[in-house]
Amino acid sequence: MSSDAARQLIARSNRLGSDPKNTNYAGGNTSAKGTDTDPVTGEDVELMWVKGSGGDLGTLTEQGLAVLRLDRLRSLVNVYPGLDREDDMVAAFDYTLHGKGGAAPSIDTAMHGLVEAAHVDHLHPDSGIAIATAVDGEELTGKIFGDTVVWVPWRRPGFQLGLDIAAIKAENPQAIGCILGGHGITAWGDSSDETEERSLWIINTAADYITAHGKPEPFGPALDGYGALPEAERRAKAAALAPTIRGLASVDKPQVGSFSDAEVVLDFLASANHPRLGALGTSCPDHFLRTKVKPLILDLPATASVEDSIARLTELHEQYRADYRAYYDTHATADSPAMRGADPAIVLIPGVGMFSFGGNKQTARVAGEFYINAINVMRGAESLSTYSPISDAEKFNIEYWALEEAKLQRMPKPKSHASRVAFVTGAASGIGKAIAARLAAEGACVVIADLDLAKAQAAAAELGSTDVAIGVQVNVTDEAQVQAGLDAAVLAFGGVDIVVNNAGLSLSKPLLETTEADWDLQHNVMAKGSFLVSKAAARILIDQKLGGDVIYISSKNSVFAGPNNIAYSATKADQAHQVRLLAVELGEHGVKVNGINPDGVVRGSGIFASGWGANRAKTYGIEEDDLGKFYAQRTILKREVLPENVANAVAVLTGPDLSHTTGLHIPVDAGVAAAFVR
């Protein structure tokens, strides 16, 4: 990238996109026009660099830009077939690309190319959309900005909107930008700095006007009984409701959840007008494509019991699905894509907060952020006027737009564990860490539960952001800590689908040297700990009604009588039988329960490093450093068992290929005949 214009564009985009008051995640687009050398002719050629489809301004790089020849782009005006066929113009953009072209051009490319300005910003600021969605938005635009900013009536993004804005700029030479009805803002300038200044001036002027002239209670008076619960109480209620809500949001397709009890959400739900405003839905296309047309709102006060709330949510969900089906049937045509799903993406609980859903954690989290944007928009519009979003018909035309459908079809196929949430105990090291890494690599969200919080958080950070993994402190022998860890899981990701009972320790002693404390410690951590984790997790799995998997990392010692490990082997046998018992009991809920019997995993093992390895080596009369090789030589395959081998078995058992397998113990021991399950 040799153009100064393009470099300035990226810097401007990153500054604008890094501040949420300017635009939402992946919302809006920016452009710059300039010249570069045509490698074919060696002559200067006029180009436009514009943020490509699906990119985010705050993190935009050169690879996220589409690069087009300006002369060819503007020549498309001559072949534009009219509004009925404007979608054809998106494919025509491919014939205007310069070189390899970079990112795919977005639907807004025409807006940038046809406007006679060196630099253009199109943004989705809350303050600007508040004006754009007010019932008297055109009048407000004139009152706030005079003739410096021009009102543009709602039109779906596309080639015609680009022509409209180009004409408005030409007819209003004094204007620096426009308010797009129901949508956002656009600004232009002769330089990158000037355009950025104008964009910010429009955003800040709108915000300042709302602050100075807005009503003190835009959402109406406080609604009795709907105020925010104390933090601990509302988060406990959120954790209790989360599995049921996730199940309701996943009837058509499994979803990952995200929870927010941000003050803006709680204040909205505590106000008298929230039912009316929520029913109107969002307006900006970026908003409702992420949040669906409207949220599901529980119509009970904050003090309602968990049981009453669940019963009412179930009723409201049935009505929501019926309403969404009616919305689809009313507006669909013979050419419309099939209905994608009738479950809500946003669920609002008065006094508690907001649950948002998507195919992965980032999508779920961003959906919630977009609804917060929508609340801010409604507040601004209601402060000055009356909130009046675009019609359901227009929303449908965008939600089921052929171009939007094509964009969805281009998305990569989900990985095997996408939309699943795994809770792995003892996962900060050794086998547990390998399991967590493998499940995350397969697309799962992972909760790393470990006795050592710092190590759990560090292991989670190795896997990626908190959209991928979190670390929590859990002593599996403590019922309260187990519940707290699972509560953290459901608040982070909406629920739990995979539970791996991996936490363990071992002491190698013969019978006469094994103390009562030795026995109790090992049975508390593994037998009792697995029981406590499985019991608490089963409640979540049952409430979700999505099935799930419980995995026990047992041991070949659960069936093999080795020397000097009475306490360890006995508790492993206990775990092995828990697998069989729970497979029978949880099967009616679609929950599979299986076990894995590894042989000694020496490398990377916390158990072996803590003294077990030295004791076992002494038992067998070998050096501790040779223990892995010793174990390998006694196997049929002569292979050492590694943490990754156990992780592979977990991935297979919890993946799509063994959907009909439960109550199974898989040996991962390289072949120990004495431990064959029979």
Catalytic site positions: 568
Task: Tell the residue number behind the tokens 């669940």, with chain if given.
Answer: 310
Nearest CA among 397, 431, 424 for reference residue 485:
424
Q: Rounded to whole angstroms, how far apart are CA atoms 489 and 469?
A: 10
302: enclosing H helix or E strand: none
Q: If 0-12 CB within 10 Å is exposed, 13-18 middle and 19+ buried, where does residue 77 land?
A: middle
Bridge partners (DSSP) listed for residue 47 = 34, 69
460: enclosing H helix or E strand: helix 453-463
DSSP letters, 176-221, are: -EEEETTTEEEEEESSHHHHHHHHHHHHHHHHHHHHHHS-S-TT-S
**φ, ψ for residue 172 (rounded to 5)?**
-130, 75
Contact present, 247 and 544 (Cβ < 8 Å)? yes
Contact present, 401 and 106 (Cβ < 8 Å)? no
Contact present, 64 and 57 (Cβ < 8 Å)? no
User: How far is the CA of 209 from the CAs of 143, 180, 204, 385, 505, in angstroms?
Assistant: 10, 18, 8, 12, 64
The half-sphere exposure of 553 on its side-chain side, counting CA atoms within 13 A, is: 31
Task: Tell the residue number behind the tokens 């993190």, with chain if given.
Answer: 59
Q: Rounded to whole angstroms, how far apart are CA atoms 148 and 143?
A: 11
Nearest CA among 201, 45, 225 for reference residue 125:
201
Q: Rounded to whole angstroms, how far apart are CA atoms 175 and 187?
A: 9
Nearest CA among 481, 433, 371 for reference residue 609:
433
